[in-house]
Chain A
Amino acid sequence: MTETVLRSTAEKRRLNLDMRALSPFIALIALIIAGALINPDFLTASNLLNVVTRSAFIAIIAVGATFVIAGGGLDLSVGSMAALTAGVMILTLNNLGGGDVGTLALGMLAAIALSAACGLANGLIVTFGRIEPFIVTLGTMGIYRSLVIWLAAGGTITMRNYDLRELYRPVYFDSILGIPIPIIAFLVVAAIGALILYRTSFGRHVVALGSNEDVARYSGVPIWRVRTLTYVIQGICVGIAVLVYVPRLGSATPTTGLLWELQAITAVVIGGTALKGGVGRVWGTVVGAVILELVANIMVLSNFVSEFLVGAVQGAIIIIAMLVQRSVHRGR
C-alpha cells in the first residue's frame, strides 16, 4: 500500500513538472492564435520565419542566462558584451583585410575568445571578489559599453570589405532545407545547453548551487568553479549570438544590444526558470525568447493600437502570460 501511495505521488509530481515545463508552450500557442485573429498575414511562412529568426540572438544569449540564473546568479552585462564583441570582431575583420573564409574564421574565433574572456572576468569577480553579481555585472555593463563607444569614437563600426560582407551575409539570411541558419544555430545551442544542464553532473551542480549554496557546499560541490563556469558559458553564448548578429547589418553602434540583458532575463523567466535560482529550463527559455519577439510582431501587425501604447500592451501581455502560468501551476 505504501508503495502505491509513493508511486501515485511520484506520478503526480511528474505530471506537475510536465505542466510547469509545458506552460510556456501553451502561452506560445495562445499568442499564435491571437496573432492569427488580429491579422491574417501573421500566419504566413515568411512572417513567422522572420520572427523566429530574429529571436535567435536573444534566445542564444538567454540559454546562457538560464545557466547563470539557475545557479543563483545574474548577468546584466550581456547586451554591452554583445556590442563590444561585435565591434571587436568587425575591427578584427577590417584589419585582417582579406575577403576569404580564413579571415572570417579568424574573426569568429576572436569574437568567441573575447566574449568567453568577458564572461570569465564576470565570474571571477563574482566568486573571488565575493561581490553581488548584480553589482559586478552592472559595473562590467558600463565598462563593456564604454569600450565599444570608445572604439567607435561614438560613431559606427562597419565591415569595410564588401566581398567579406557578401560572403558572411548568408549566415543570417540563408537557410538549409528551408530553415534559416540562425534558427538552426539556436536549436543547436539549446540542445547542447539542455544536454549539459539535464544530463551532466555539472548541470546538477548548477541547480544545486542555485537552490541552496550552503547545502551544495557541504555536499562537495566545487562552488567557485561551477559559478565561474556559468558566466563563461554565458559569455560563449553571447559570442555565438554575435556570430549570427554581425552578418545581418554588418555593423556595431553604441546602441547595439541595448536592453538585451532585460530581454534575456524576461525570456528566461517566461520560460519557467526561477529568478532566485534552483530551477533551469532551457527549452522554456527558447520559447520565452520567441514569445517576446512574437508579441512585438503582433503589436506592429495590429491596426487598433496607437503607436504610443505599443509598449504598454507588450508589458501587459508579458505580465498576463506569467499570471496564466502561475494559475496553471496552482490548478494542478
Chain B
Amino acid sequence: MKATVLKIAMAAGLMAGVATGAMAQQKNVTIGVSIPAATHGWTGGVVYHAQETAKLLEKGYPGLKVIVKTSPDGASQANALDDLTSQKVDALVVLPFNSDELTNPVREIKKRGTFITVVDRGLKDPSIQDIYVAGNNPEFGRVAGKYFVDNLKQGNVVVFRGIPTVIDEERVSNFEKALEGSGVKVIDKQYANWNRDDAFKVMQDFLSKHPKIDAVWASDDDMALGIMEAIRQAKREDIKFVLGGAGMKDMIKKVMDGDKMIPADVSYPPSMISTAMGVTAAHFYSNAPMRGTYVLNAQLITKDNAKDHYFPKSPF
C-alpha cells in the first residue's frame, strides 16, 4: 500500500514541481476528509489508507493540513460535514454513506466555494463535484464473469450477493451479462450481507441443495473465507475454485502462494481514497488541471501481478 500512496504522492509532487518550478512558495491549504468509520473490512482499509495518505501529503506539501473524520452512519456523517466546514476547509474529500442523504449537506458546503471531491458512491447531483473518483462496479462484475467463462468454459455456479444496494445490483447484473451465451450457468444466488458467518451458512445450505457445483462467485473476500470453511467441512471435491473480490491481504496472499481454490481475485481497492486525496492536493499545488472523473480499473489479480496488490500492513 505504501508503494501506491508514494506513487500518487510522487506523481502529484512531480506535477506540482513541473508546473510551478518549485514548491518554494508556502501555501496554506486545509483539506477535510469525511469517510465511513471502520465497521467492515473494506471501510477499515479506507480509514487506514486515508490516515496514511494524510501523513504523506502533509509531509510532501508544505502548508497543507489534512483533517480525516470518520462517521458510523449517514446522519452522523452529515453532522461531521458541518463540523468540518466550521473549521474552514478549502477542499472536501467525501466518501458518502449513501447518495440520497448526503447530497444536500455536500451541496451546502459547495455553495461556500469549497472544492469538492466525491469518492466511490456518487451524489444524486453530479454537478456538485469537482472531482469524482470511483471503483468500477459494473466492470467488477464483468471481469469476474469473464474469468468464469475463460477458465470454467461450462458448469454450474452459485453466486453470493452482498447487501441489497445499487453497487451489488450493478456487480451481479454485469456478472450475469458476461456469462450470456457461454456454458456457465448460475444455478442459485443468495444474499450473505458481505459477512463471513452468513456466507458460511448459505454455503452449507447450497452444498445440501446442489449435488454438483463447479465454482463459486463469492463477489467479496470476506464472504469467500466463510465459503471456504463450509466447503472444507463438507469435503466436497466438485468445486474447482472460489472467486472473491476487493483485494483483502489474506486472499492476495493465497493467490500469490498459488492456492488452487483461490486462483485469482478482482480488485476494488480501498486505497481509492488515496487517489482522491492525492489529486485533490495536486489541484492546489500545481497548475495542471485536476478536475474530472477518475474511474479505477477493476483488475484481475492473478499469481503474476498479485505482489502489486499485497499490502501486509493494511488491516484489510
Contacts and interface: CB of A to CB of B under 8 A. Distances in A.
A, B: real partners: yes
Contacts of A39: 209
Interface string B202-219: 101110110000000000
A207 to B, nearest CB: 33
Contacts of B25: none
A258 B45 contact: no
- Interface residues of B toward A: which range? 35 or more
B242 to A, nearest CB: 15
B44 A154 contact: yes
| Dominant secondary structure of chain B at its interface with chain A | helix
Given A307-B161, A307-B189, A310-B190, A156 B195 contact: no
Interface in B185-230: 189-191, 193-197, 200-202, 204-206, 208-209, 222, 225-226, 229
Interface of A: 39, 41-42, 44, 46-47, 50, 54, 149, 152-156, 158, 173, 248-249, 251, 253-256, 258, 296-297, 300-301, 307-308, 310
B229 A249 contact: yes
A81 to B, nearest CB: 16
B40 A255 contact: yes
Contacts of A258: 195
Nearest to B209: A301
B196 A251 contact: yes
Nearest to B38: A154
A253 B222 contact: yes
B39 A255 contact: yes
B30 interface: no
Interface in B104-160: none
B270 to A, nearest CB: 10
Contacts of A296: 201
Given A154-B315, A155-B316, A308-B164, A46 B41 contact: no
Given A47-B208, A248-B200, A256-B197, A307 B41 contact: no
Given A153-B48, A249-B197, 11 more contacts: A39-B209, A44-B208, A46-B208, A149-B37, A153-B44, A154-B43, A156-B250, A156-B315, A156-B316, A301-B208, A310-B190
